[in-house]
Amino acid sequence: MPPAPAPAYRGRFAPSPTGPLHAGSLVAALGSWLMARHAGGEWWVRVEDLDPPREVPGAAEAQLRTLAAFGLVSDAPVVRQSERHALYRAALDRLLAADLAFACACSRSALAAGGGVHRACAPGPARAQAAVRLRVPDGSVVGFEDALCGHFAQDVATDVGDVVLLRADGCWAYQLAVVVDDAAQGVTDVVRGADLLDSTPRQILLQRALGLPTPRYAHLPLIVDGDGRKLSKSLAAVPVDGDDPLPALRVAWRALGQRPGPFDAPGRVERGLARASAAFDPGLIPRKPVPLAAVHNGPVTDDP
């Protein structure tokens, strides 16, 4: 399939259907939508359903229904990664043919001995089923300018090791699929949660190995609970209510550091979104994690 022509700005929201949409995912959905609208660009939704063991049946449809109830509707037909195996296979085959990827049957214990960081296949018992990894040369330090987090660099060789592209259980790794799809869909701007900040250098390395363009990145602050834990890992990760979208939109809007107003008046959600896209100021987005209590009490600022 030829890549989609590159527009000036094409953003995306790419949820994994592992459960209902919660407050944290709504921040990523609304934040990526607002950044796209602010730039006069497009916003596409992609269902990242490549991990059947973690998937909850019906969750993808429920997430899309909830997004629609929030007025967040993809500008292009929704793409599902589970229907795109041939694209990932073609990318992997190119890497294998260029000797940039290799099969690895290292056992779990051999990997654990290296702290989970794979640098060379260990002799000894092998797994029946091999994984495929990207060959990450020593000294693969990758840095990039994040629109919100500033400069971020990582030594992918020492911090991550040889990146898994095809898992030993036969599932495509998120890292490969996301890189292939962002390029195939002509995504120019990736706006997502800061929990994925440290996945970005390995994605850039993979883009370079495949000869694909690197999009711009902006990683949104995570909402954390009182103990500083990511919201989705705590009891506070309650699903957002598509039947009553305004309260959750207000919370997401505050988590993005914006001045109250757009979602305060009752009425149709589309009205609120129109007011929000007119009022949105990316410069107000906090650069650090946002405590849940703060978003329930008023706008979040970067002030100490």
The stretch near ligand GLU (CB under 6 A) out of 1-9, 11-19, 143-151, 205-213 is 11-19
Site string for ligand GLU, 15-54 (x = CB under 6 A): xx-------------------------------x------
Shortest gap between Cβ of 199 and ligand GLU (angstroms)? 7
Confirm if 73 and 85 have CB atoms less than 8 A apart.
no
CA 189: distance to chain centroid?
11
Joined together, the tokens standing for residue 231 give 């919201």
The stretch near ligand GLU (CB under 6 A) out of 13-21, 53-61, 116-124, 276-284 is 13-21
Gap between the Cα atoms of 32 and 58, Å rounded: 24
Q: Which of 85, 119, 233, 288 is catalytic?
A: 233
Element (H, E) at 275: helix 269-279
Q: Is 229 exposed, middle or buried (0-12, 13-18, 19+ CB in 10 A)?
A: middle
What phi and psi values does residue 294 have, to the nearest 5 degrees?
A: -65, -40
269-279 and 245-255 helices, crossing angle to 10°? 10
Q: Which is nearer to ligand GLU, 50 or 92 (CB)?
A: 50
The stretch near ligand GLU (CB under 6 A) out of 9-17, 127-135, 220-228, 236-244 is 9-17
Q: Which is nearer to ligand GLU, 48 or 189 (CB)?
A: 48
Q: Is 106 exposed, middle or buried (0-12, 13-18, 19+ CB in 10 A)?
A: buried
List of residues 6+ apart from 37 with CB closer than 8 A: 43, 277, 280
Binds ligand GLU by CB under 6 A, chosen from 22, 192, 250, 254 = 192
Q: Which is nearer to ligand GLU, 104 or 218 (CB)?
A: 218
Q: Which is nearer to ligand GLU, 18 or 277 (CB)?
A: 18
288 counts as catalytic: no
Shortest gap between Cβ of 196 and ligand GLU (angstroms)? 5
Shortest gap between Cβ of 85 and ligand GLU (angstroms)? 17
The stretch near ligand GLU (CB under 6 A) out of 12-20, 92-100, 107-115, 211-219 is 12-20
- Is residue 209 involved in binding ligand GLU (CB under 6 A)? no
Query: Under rule CB under 6 A, which residues in 159-178 are in contact with ligand GLU?
Result: 178
DSSP 170-206: SPBPHHHHHHHHHHHTT--EEEEEGGGGGGHHHHHHH
Q: What is the binding site for ligand GLU (CB under 6 A)?
A: 14-16, 48, 178, 192, 196
Provide the annotated active-site residues: 233
